[in-house]
Amino acid sequence: MNGSFAATPIQPLNLRLNDNTFHVKRDDLIPYSFGGNKVRKGILFFEAIRSGGHDAVVTYGSSSSNHCRVIANLAKEAGLPCRIIAPQEASRETMNSRLIRLLGAEVTTCPVNAVAETIEDAMAHLVKSGKNPYFIPGGGHGRLGTEAYVRAYEEIRANEEATGIRFDFIFLTSGTGSTQAGLVSGQLRHQDDRQVIGISNARRSPYGRQVVLDSVLEYLGREAGLKDSDRAVHFIDDYILEGYGAYNRAILDTIKEVFGSEGIPLDATYTGKGFWGMKEYIKANRITGKHVLFIHTGGTPLFFDTMEALQYE
Ligand SMILES: *Cc1c(COP(=O)(O)O)cnc(C)c1O
């Protein structure tokens, strides 16, 4: 990604539910490597890699990880070797894992309980061979990941200024939690009266929620009031089903429906689950007459994996 990109579009949806209006912020259209929230984060990590004089990258993620695809691409572009540690429990071939191979990243799979030591080994091995490796946490988690979505929150505010449409709710799919933490940090900084709702795709509360809260407090530091921050983190674990990667009929129907009626691709692991969860949450909480924004966090290659489940039924 040579240079920065313009604010991603915020467009209205045809969706009608309880007299609310719906818009979507198309972070899936960020113009690099099929886009997505991992591009926003990855760009900031690569700035740190460059300014720190690092010459190798190590990261972690499953075979469906958008993060690993984007990092593999940024590493290739920068001419740096990229090592990816992947849990063998989630190493089924996907479009992302094929793209990661195409980009020449070296993938090491290990049992999920051996991940920490495998990462340490990979880092030590690179250091021994004279490299200065940088470790990027799974999902691009951490202060830089949070910063990426504080900036996206500013784009949302600028859009509101320009259009006069103010969003009462911002929904997104929450995974490692830094996307949500960034949006909440932006909200708290401006003391904006609205709700940012993270629909978890895997983690349960209280752990998943605590990670978001900790990231907000870490990011805002002394700016943060604990009470305000605590109140602003809405982490909903009612729609995770059996956890990461699990989906049901309703999610597939949602994906088919949204593609047909809006021309927007969602996927079963992240955005399809979040979009379905958003609709269920709005029904369950009888939210009516509001302006609702959904952040499309990306994952276009995963849409094509989902196609296989959609096609043959
Ligand atoms: C990683 C990812 C998420 C979750 O983002 P976090 O910052 O880890 O919570 C949501 N949607 C997509 C498409 C992703 O790849």
Q: pLDDT tens digits for 131-150?
A: 999 999 999 999 999 999 99
For residue 84, list its beta bridge partners.
Answer: 59, 107
Does residue 142's CB lie within 6 angstroms of at least one atom of ligand 1? no
Number of the ligand 1 atom closest to the C-alpha atom of 36: 13
In angstroms, the CA 66 to CA 50 distance is 22
Running DSSP on this structure, what letter comes out for residue 265?
Answer: -
pLDDT of residue 1: 83
Q: Which of 75, 92, 95 is nearest to 83 (CA)?
A: 75
**Ligand 1 site-directed mutation target among 66, 71, 233, most atoms within 8 Å of CB:** 66
Does residue 137's CB lie within 6 angstroms of at least one atom of ligand 1? no
For residue 17, list its beta bridge partners.
Answer: 20
- Does residue 65 have a pLDDT over 90? yes
Q: pLDDT tens digits for 207-246?
A: 999 999 999 999 999 777 888 999 999 999 999 999 999 9
Asked if residues 27 and 35 have their Cβ atoms less than 8 Å apart, the reply is yes
61 SS3 class: coil
- Does residue 3 have a pLDDT over 80? no
pLDDT of residue 24: 98
Within a 13 Å sphere around the CA of 58, how many CA atoms are in the beta-carbon half? 20
- Does residue 311 have a pLDDT over 80? no
pLDDT band at 152 (very low <50, low <70, confident <90, very high): very high
pLDDT band at 277 (very low <50, low <70, confident <90, very high): very high
**Ligand 1 site-directed mutation target among 179, 266, 294, 300, most atoms within 8 Å of CB:** 179
Does residue 36's CB lie within 6 angstroms of at least one atom of ligand 1? yes
Q: What average pLDDT does range 290-294 have in this prediction?
A: 98
In angstroms, the CA 193 to CA 172 distance is 17
pLDDT of residue 164: 98
Give the tokens for residue 289.
């007459």
- Does residue 169 have a pLDDT over 70? yes
Q: What average pLDDT does range 84-94 have in this prediction?
A: 90
Number of the ligand 1 atom closest to the C-alpha atom of 175: 9
- Does residue 76 have a pLDDT over 80? yes
pLDDT of residue 173: 98
Does residue 297's CB lie within 6 angstroms of at least one atom of ligand 1? yes
pLDDT of residue 90: 75
Residue 75 carries which side chain, given as an amino acid letter?
A
Q: What average pLDDT does range 26-51 have in this prediction?
A: 97
In angstroms, the CA 21 to CA 310 distance is 28
Q: pLDDT tens digits for 112-138?
A: 999 999 999 999 999 999 999 999 999
Q: Which long-range contacts (C-beta less than 8 Å, at least 24 apart) are formed by 15-18? A: 15/258, 15/261, 15/262, 17/279, 17/282, 17/283, 18/282, 18/283, 18/286, 18/287, 18/288, 18/289
117 SS3 class: helix
Number of the ligand 1 atom closest to the C-alpha atom of 298: 13
pLDDT band at 313 (very low <50, low <70, confident <90, very high): low
pLDDT band at 261 (very low <50, low <70, confident <90, very high): very high
Question: How far, in Å, from the CA of 273 to the mean position of ligand 1?
Answer: 11
CB burial string 148-173: b at 16+ within 10 A, e below: bbbebbebbeebbeeeeeebebbbbb
Q: What are the angstrom distances between the C-alpha of 307 and each of 33, 102, 121, 251?
A: 20, 21, 37, 12
Q: Percentage of the chain surpassing pLDDT 90?
A: 93
**Ligand 1 site-directed mutation target among 270, 273, 302, most atoms within 8 Å of CB:** 270
Question: How far, in Å, from the CA of 130 to the mean position of ligand 1?
Answer: 33
Q: What average pLDDT does range 29-46 have in this prediction?
A: 97
Does residue 298's CB lie within 6 angstroms of at least one atom of ligand 1? yes
Does residue 133's CB lie within 6 angstroms of at least one atom of ligand 1? no
For tokens 């933490």, name the residue: 181
Helix axes 249-262, 300-311, angle to 10 degrees: 110
- Does residue 312 have a pLDDT over 70? no
Q: pLDDT tens digits for 19-37?
A: 999 999 999 999 999 999 9
The structure's pTM equals 0.97
Does residue 300's CB lie within 6 angstroms of at least one atom of ligand 1? no
Question: How far, in Å, from the CA of 38 to the mean position of ligand 1?
Answer: 7
